[in-house]
Structure 1
Amino acid sequence: MGTLVGHVAPGFGFFLIGLWHLLNHIRLHAAQPGSYYSLPWFAASRLRYGELLTIMAGCCASVAMELFVGPSRHQPLDPDWTIPSNHLHNFEHSLISISFFTYAAFAIVLDKVMAGPKAARTRDGLTQLIGAVAFGQQFLLFHLHSTDHMGIEGQYHLLLQAVIVVSVATTLLGIALPRSFLVSFVRSASIIFQGVWLVIMGFMLWTPGLIPKGCFLNLEEGHQVVRCHSEEALHRAKSLVNIGFSWFLILITVFSVGLYLALVKIYGETAEYQSLTKAAAELDEEEDGGESDDVESQKKIKFGETKSFIHVGNLKTFAPIDIER
């Protein structure tokens, strides 16, 4: 971090992971609202641990950039093996990446070691807890950041902390309320917002043409910092940051709810159609085969319920509706 690429790259990563979670949570809830269960991560179709491996790879790249590629000597320490003041923020940023790497690594280990439905609740709870620790570490390091908290960059960090708090809170709530769709929905949206805000920070703080009026880029301790000529210019710049945050909060809300409405229409109708079709087939078998066939039909339905990805409630509840129609 501390540069345009250093904010845009991780911001894009947060955005993709948040969007991936939002899409999957909405799909699960729309397809089976009665039996929805929140998952801490989602397996990819071809590579089960694709999401977690992507997080680990991104974190490794971030640590390498912060500690080895970015510094002029390609290592962050002084000749006497102490940490220089201008590299403190590099260590802080790398610790955030290491925290999320730890989350992803343990998620894979827990999935392999604690396999089976009986251990699912404990496994997912532990995974969520490690995720909450990673978000908490992120909040703590941004709150106690070694860079200046009084300037425009500090205002961006202050508002980012508010979004991170939401991510921490909803991740912890997800442990106690694994069947709450709203908790998962807000957590996913907050991760998307983190990503968008980091990208905005990168462009607004290190693009000379986007620097607020009355402010300028100044080289301090090896990296560019936005400074203002007067208190009035600084106050105006912070107000612009607040206005931008408010606009993006509205946009993320509209995007998230709009995506929910679109996917519910797609997956919800599919789930209802399949359930009604199975119920109609059950009635036909009852009329043709009598009691003996009815027993076999129930067995088939029970078997189908355990294997089907889309399941909405008890199929028998649709039978009276079909009869009345």
Structure 2
Amino acid sequence: MGSFIGHAVPGTFFFFFGMWFTYRMFQRYFLCQATVAATGGGEKCRSRYQNISSFTCPGCPGLPLEGVLKIIAVVVGMTGEFATAFDEGKFTHIGNAQHMTMFFFFGLNGVMDVLTHYRIPVPPDMDYVSAILAFSMEALLFYYHLHGRSHMDVQVHMLLFYVVLACAVSTALEMCYKNNVLPALCRSYFTLLQGTWFYQIGFILYSPWGPTWDQEDHGQMMVVTMLFTWHNATIFVIMALAGSLIYLRVKAKGPAAMYHGLHGPLRMPKMDAEQIKNMIVDSEEEEV
């Protein structure tokens, strides 16, 4: 990761998965709430909403695409780190070994996602536990990754450490409070923040163009802190806009489409016969 590309690649993956989580979590939540309103299910039905750690692709619900993409990304990342770790035939870059270790834990999370999708008999919530473990190990390795670095280098990576730790905590809360969408949205938020901050670190420490930063200048270090707050604000606005657009899209759906969305790719629990009947009646009235 000691280059701009080395930070841009993981930043791209975290940003992509953060946007994916945001879209699917908002969609799942608003579909459930809209269906509750359409069926008059009340608070008892409202509790049917549940968080899940990974999502299938609407176009291929039978394939655990998210888990497969994680595994592929990890294989590519570990291969790149291993290939660049040698100097004159000797494995000398210990930093690469640390990065490979980080990748391994996220690959383990991808494997657990696949096993959970196919209902392989593993202990419950292992998909969540493996995600918490991956974020925790990433945070640990980053925390002890800074010996001998410049002050600005330590600063940007400590901010990244806090974000990764927040990813682990929000994932743990999501696992414990599965009927609450807020921890799930926090996981999306901090995953997005991790992605954009990886990019920012690349531009600060290994800028591909423009003047270089003075990594010992206090004034520029204050600018770095301000940039971090701007990243937080930008991601909050992005998620708010995404949530608003997804809400309007879900609201425009008919009740039958809501039911299909919940019990198809979103894998929500089945409704009782009276709720299904009410939904079908409402759908037929809309078509007339």
Residues 219-258 of structure 1: matches in 2 within 5 Å? 227-228=215-216, 233=217, 235-258=218-241
Contact 2:64 2:113 in 1 (8 A): no
Any gaps of 5 or more consecutive residues in structure 1?
78-86, 216-226, 279-300
Q: How does 1:180-219 map to 2 (within 5 A)?
A: 180-207=180-207, 209-212=210-213, 215=214
Q: Is the 8 A contact 2:146 2:154 kept in 1?
A: no
Contact 1:89 1:146 (8 Å CA) reproduced:
no
Which letter maps to 1:103? N
Question: What residue is the counterpart of 2:118 in the other structure?
Answer: 112
Aligned-pair CA distance for 1:269: 3.3
**Secondary structure of the residue that 1:209 maps to in structure 2?**
coil
Aligned match of 1:274: 255
Residue equivalent to 1:264: 247
**CA contact under 8 A between 1:15 and 1:192: conserved in structure 2?**
yes
Partner of 2:53: 40
* 2: CA distance, partners of 1:108 / 1:248: 32
Give, in whole Å, the separation in 2 of the partners of 1:138 and 1:13.
15
- Give the structure-2-normalised TM-score: 0.80
Q: CA deviation at 1:268?
A: 2.7
Match of 2:87 in 1: 72
Question: Which residue is 1:224 aligned to?
Answer: none
1:127 aligned residue: 127
- Cα distance in 2 between the residues matched to 1:43 and 1:162: 29
Residue 26 (structure 1) aligned with residue 41 (structure 2): no
Equivalent pair of 1:68/1:74 in contact (CA under 8 Å): no
Find the residue that maps to 2:63 and give its secondary structure: coil
Higher RCO, 1 or 2 (CA under 8 Å, sep at least 6)? 2
Identity of aligned residues (%): 18
Deviates more, 1:159-168 or 1:63-72: 63-72
Question: Normalized against structure 1, the TM-score is what?
Answer: 0.71
Label 1:266 to 1:111 Cα distance change in 2 as closer, same or farther (>3 A). closer
Q: Does residue 101 in structure 1 map to residue 114 in structure 2?
A: no
User: What count of residue pairs does the alignment treat as equivalent?
Assistant: 262
**Deviation by residue 1:279-316 (Cα, 9 ceiling, x = unmatched):** xxxxxxxxxxxxxxxxxxxxxx9x9x967979999468
Query: Which amino acid is the alignment partner of residue 196 of structure 1?
Result: T
Is the 8 Å Cα contact of residues 203 and 210 (structure 1) preserved in structure 2?
A: no
Measured in 1, the distance between the counterparts of 2:236 and 2:97 equals 33
Cα deviation, 1:114-138, whole Å, max 9, x if unaligned, reads 37xxx9xx64x11101100000001
Deviation at 1:144, TM superposition (A): 1.0
For residue 132 of structure 2, what is the amino acid of its counterpart?
A: A
Aligned residues of 1:68 and 1:75 also touching (Cα < 8 A): no
Name the CA shift for 1:210/1:48 in 2 (closer, same or farther; >3 Å): farther
- Structure 1 stretches of at least 4 aligned residues deviating more than 6 Å after TM superposition: 305-313, 315-319
- The 3 A distance-change label for structure 1 pair 274 and 56 is same
| Greater Rg over alpha carbons, structure | 1
